[in-house]
Amino acid sequence: MTALWQRGRAALARRCLLAALVVLLAVATPAVAAETIPVALDEARVVKLPERAATVVIGDPLIADISIQAGGIGVITAKGYGATNLIALDARGAVLMEKSLVVTGPSDRTVVVYRGVTRETYSCTPYCSPRFTLGDDVEFFTKTLTEVQTRNNAATGIGALGNR
């Protein structure tokens, strides 16, 4: 009789342990979701780095980059679609912070035009103008990018002349 009682008690203890693990996992799951930093493509996001951070690493620099500023501030710039991670280490190499970065599509009002298999993206804020976006038709993307670069070069040249 005592052996039967002990087996029942052991089974009850296992069930309680299993229930505690399920509750712990349910509570821990939202915390993992809070560790994700969303950044829209071609935008920046400011993050506060841990005080003793000596090294900051971005897993895939084609997806995002980080610029370290004074006061322990990091500016994350989204460069390509996808997910990667951000790790901050102290001088001894101990991990102080690790977060996931998820780069999403543009956050401005866009219109996407499909011409057969080709795609063109327009930014409509409030009037529609060409916007080069990853995945657009190569010819449209290159033409739009070239126009933007030419305009920026002209503005930089004019600005440099004004400083003389």
Write down the domain spans for the chain.
Answer: 1-30, 36-104, 110-162
pLDDT of residue 13: 55
Task: Report how far residue 96's alpha carbon sits from residue 119's, in angstroms, rounded to the nearest whole number.
Answer: 43
Q: Name the residue with tokens 């327009």.
A: 122
Cβ neighbourhood burial of 65 (10 Å; 0-12, 13-18, 19+): middle
Which CATH number fits the domain 36-104, given the four candidates 3.40.50.410, 3.40.720.10, 3.40.50.720, 2.60.40.1080? Answer: 2.60.40.1080
Residues ≥6 apart with Cβ < 8 Å to 29: none
pLDDT of residue 28: 43
Kind plus residue range of the DSSP H or E element containing 4: helix 2-34
Q: CA Rg, the chain, in Å?
A: 26
Q: What is the mean pLDDT of the chain?
A: 82
- Please determine, for residue 125, whether its predicted confidence score (pLDDT) is greater than 70: yes
Of the listed ranges 30-44, 54-68, 122-136, 141-155, the one predicted with least confidence: 30-44
Task: Report how far residue 145's alpha carbon sits from residue 101's, in angstroms, rounded to the nearest whole number.
Answer: 26
What's the average model confidence in pLDDT over 129-145?
93
Task: Report how far residue 125's alpha carbon sits from residue 80's, in angstroms, rounded to the nearest whole number.
Answer: 22
pLDDT of residue 3: 53
Neighbours of 141 (CB within 10 A): 19
Of the listed ranges 18-27, 92-101, 133-142, the one predicted with least confidence: 18-27
DSSP, res 149: H
Kind plus residue range of the DSSP H or E element containing 76: strand 73-78
What 3-state DSSP class applies to 150?
Answer: helix
Amino acid making up residue 65: D
- Please determine, for residue 124, whether its predicted confidence score (pLDDT) is greater than 90: yes
For residue 26, name the pLDDT band (cuts at 50, 70, 90): very low
| Phi-psi domain of 26 (left: phi exceeds 0; alpha: psi -120 through 50; beta: other) | alpha
Tokens of 5: 């009682």
